[in-house]
Structure 1
Amino acid sequence: MPFINIKTNVEVTAEKADSIKSALGLAITAIPGKSEGWLMVGIEDKYKLYFKGTEEPAAMVEVSIYGNASSNALGVLTSNITGILLDNLGISTDRVYVSYMSTPDWGWNGSNF
């Protein structure tokens, strides 16, 4: 039950959004037990975002997961995410932050897991 939300000051076309969504579906498998089958992706483009005092292309990526993941798995996922944003939107990897939130409680379909 992962959720990946991307906020970026770059415009994201429908074609690029679909490409990013698909790439994230593969990338999430860096975390054992996670798959595209339960992945939700949000993309907020043209977001008013400043990094290092400029409006150069940048992104803030928030990853929420049900349960826990190892630091190694999260490191692989960070590398995958930054690579996806570089390849699809031209955002330099040093202009992307990725934050993680793990929770033991996750609601779906009217109840919690």
Structure 2
Amino acid sequence: MPCIRCTVNQKLNDQQRQALKEGLMEAIQQIPGKTPDSLMIILQDAADMCFHRDSETACAFVEVNALLRKDPSEHYPAMSKIICELLTRVAGIAGTDVYIRYLATPDWGWNGTNF
């Protein structure tokens, strides 16, 4: 039950949005047991963001949330690399202008119940 929230301050076109979604579906597979089949993606563009004291710099904030019972942090560096390369390739956002936050929780609700 993963969810990736990707917020960028750039306006994205439909092709960029689709490419980001497909790339994030690929990236989630870096975490063992996580697949695109249960991935929710929240993509927000044109957000009012300021980074490095500059509102004009193309930047992104990505949150990766997942139901996990074991610490998968050893896989986060590979995922961070994929996400940063994806944002650079698709949206022109340099990896130096991307923050990624990983959140693992043993508590997750779905379909009227909790896991």
TM-score (norm 1): 0.95
- d(CA) in 2 for partners of 1:49, 1:9: 6
Residue of structure 2 in register with 1:64 after alignment: 65
Give the CA RMSD over aligned residues. 1.0
- d(CA) in 2 for partners of 1:28, 1:90: 21
Aligned residue pair count: 113
What percentage of aligned pairs have identical amino acids?
Answer: 34
Q: Which runs of 5+ in 2 are unaligned?
A: none
**In the alignment, does 2:49 pair up with 1:49?**
yes
**In the alignment, does 2:104 pair up with 1:102?**
yes
Residue of structure 2 in register with 1:92 after alignment: 94
Show structure 1 runs of 4+ deviating over 2 A.
Answer: 68-72
Residue of structure 2 in register with 1:112 after alignment: 114
CA displacement, residues 47-90 of structure 1 (integer Å, 9 cap, x when unaligned): 00000101210001111111144322011111111111001000
Residue of structure 2 in register with 1:31 after alignment: 31
Q: Which runs of 5+ in 1 are unaligned?
A: none
Q: In the alignment, is the contact (CA less than 8 A) between 1:31 and 1:69 conserved in 2? A: no
Question: Which amino acid in structure 2 is aligned with residue 82 of structure 1?
Answer: C
**Which sits farther off after the overlay, 48-57 or 69-78?**
69-78
TM-score (norm 2): 0.94
Specify whether residues 107 and 45 from structure 1 end up closer, same or farther in structure 2 by C-alpha distance, changes over 3 A only: same
Q: In the alignment, is the contact (CA less than 8 A) between 1:3 and 1:41 conserved in 2? A: yes
SS across alignment from 2:5: strand
